[in-house]
Structure 1
Amino acid sequence: MPQDPDPTPARETVEPQEAFAELGRLVVGETPLQQVLARVAELTLACVPGAEEVSVTLLEGEKAHSAAFTGKLAATLDERQYEGGFGPCVDAAQSGQVVRVDDTAAEDIYPDFAATAARQGVRSAVSVGMPMPQRVLGGINVYRFDEDPLDEDAVQILQVFAGYAAVAVANHSLYASSMALSANLQVAMQSRAVIEQAKGVLMATLHCTADEAFAHLATQSQHANRKLRDIAAEIVARTAGR
């Protein structure tokens, strides 16, 4: 039986500009990072039309975790992806891309994730990488139970919001981070660089767009049951060895 979404009180509604402004008002050092992340998830749910459950993925080195979420189902679906090391939320956080699964009943790039999500009643999902220049990689994930996926306007709002959230999270992370965390996050940044290099190789060899190159990488990752970063590294290494 599909799992119903967690019962919630009346949903908060916030205009996008108000949400952006609230993130900008957070004072570094006064608001704990966990509280910032929880508010990022809440504001995403409140300002992105059609969002029904939201989670925030953070990458530290090679480890991913859901730092905040608005419902248990979002966290559960995220964790299934972290176990295997790939899936929409992991790939979006690593690459900075927008990764869409518009119909979990007919998804061929992420079939395992889609099948699991469909069994829980999730019809579509969008993951957006937060454009962080240093220290932290992450993404925001939106899940929907309704038949129609997020429309383009909603996805654009989500992308803009992810940019504001990235600044808030990066500022707090810079304030609180240790040398060990910095080293781990450097590994994550290197992963994103390798993925970008592999995309460039594929665009040149396959004569395709950046989005098509990323889809090609994601498909190979799923079919080989291997991490996106590892597939990308092999492509870059093969090219360098020619």
Structure 2
Amino acid sequence: MEIDKVLLDTSLARLHHLVPSQIELAKLVSEVVRAVTEIFDLAGAGVLLVDADRALRSIAASDATGALLERAQEEFGEGPCIESFIIDEMVESGDIASDGRWPRVTPTLLAGGVRAVLGVPVRLGGGPIGTLNVADDHPRVWTDSERDAVGHFGAVLENLLLVGLVADRNDRLARQLQYALDYRVPIERAVGHLMATMRTDPITAFEKLRRTARDERRKVSDLAEEILAGRRRL
């Protein structure tokens, strides 16, 4: 898709000038999601954030398609957006119907009309705290300009979240953002520990941690801290 650079620059400039101290943080995140959906004429978009209970939780979605993209990956613990968070890199799929990397979540995404997906890590405090995710309802070759532009929206989102956090806000999303910063490190370290002890890759280690916590109806963060303290082995 050919990007309208003037429209892109105008949208990014408008988002840059939003003031987190004056606007509810959840509305700011929703503005970014809405803007990226419109610029690229996407079927949906959303944001996942680190969560103590489920490892990652949806905090914003553009519409039903965006909500499905987030909810399905939360449920199954896999997908391009989950992988983007774990490896701290942009992850894309031009057509998940022919992409065998996420076999459990793919049928649900396809049933909901999701075909192409791009996940971009959102970073604060030196590492990822979540992802900005976009989806289309037909196969799509993600161009370099599209990847760069979605990355710019991710950077705007990072800035808005950081300013909102520094503003010492007490709204729900600001508190969840602080939780994300607090919980990210032990979860990352526990994944690293499991990679070493299980001799596996980060995605498998993350899923093992998440699934064990879910099966035992425990918080992922609590299980991670027990593993690091040597009180629990998986």
Query: TM-score when scaled to structure 1?
Result: 0.69
Instruction: Return the alpha-carbon distance in structure 2 between the equivalents of residues 191 and 43 of structure 1.
Output: 33
Residue 74 (structure 1) shift: 1.7
* 1:118 pairs with 2:110: yes
- Secondary structure of 2:104 counterpart: helix
What is the aligned partner in structure 2 of residue 56 from structure 1? 47
Structure 1 residues not aligned, in runs of 5+: 1-12, 207-212, 238-242
Instruction: Return the alpha-carbon distance in structure 2 between the equivalents of residues 43 and 156 of structure 1.
Output: 15
* 1:190 pairs with 2:190: no
* 1:218 pairs with 2:203: yes
Instruction: Return the alpha-carbon distance in structure 1 between the equivalents of residues 162 and 209 of structure 2.
Output: 33
Instruction: Return the alpha-carbon distance in structure 1 between the equivalents of residues 170 and 128 of structure 2.
Output: 10
Whether the aligned pair in 2 keeps the contact of 1:128 and 1:158 (CA below 8 Å) is yes
Residue 71 (structure 1) shift: 1.3
Residue in structure 1 matching 2:91, options 96, 99, 116: 99
Residue 183 (structure 1) shift: 6.4
Residue 44 (structure 1) shift: 0.9
- What is the identity percentage for the equivalent residue pairs of Structure 1 and Structure 2? 17
Structure 2 residues not aligned, in runs of 5+: 213-219, 230-234
Opposite residue 217 of structure 1, the aligned amino acid is: P
Classify 1:96/1:161 alpha carbon distance in 2 versus 1 (closer, same or farther; 3 Å).
Answer: same
What is the aligned partner in structure 2 of residue 79 from structure 1? 71
What is the aligned partner in structure 2 of residue 89 from structure 1? 81
Whether the aligned pair in 2 keeps the contact of 1:37 and 1:68 (CA below 8 Å) is yes
Instruction: Return the alpha-carbon distance in structure 2 between the equivalents of residues 54 and 84 of structure 1.
Output: 18
Partner deviation per Cα, 1:164-184 (whole Å, 9 max, x = no partner): 111112211332158975763
Residue 72 (structure 1) shift: 0.9
* 1:127 pairs with 2:119: yes
* 1:170 pairs with 2:170: no
Cα RMSD (Å): 4.1
Residue 138 (structure 1) shift: 2.2
- Secondary structure of 2:105 counterpart: helix
Classify 1:115/1:219 alpha carbon distance in 2 versus 1 (closer, same or farther; 3 Å).
Answer: farther
* 1:37 pairs with 2:32: no
Query: TM-score when scaled to structure 2?
Result: 0.71
What is the aligned partner in structure 2 of residue 159 from structure 1? 151
Residue in structure 1 matching 2:131, options 122, 139, 147: 139
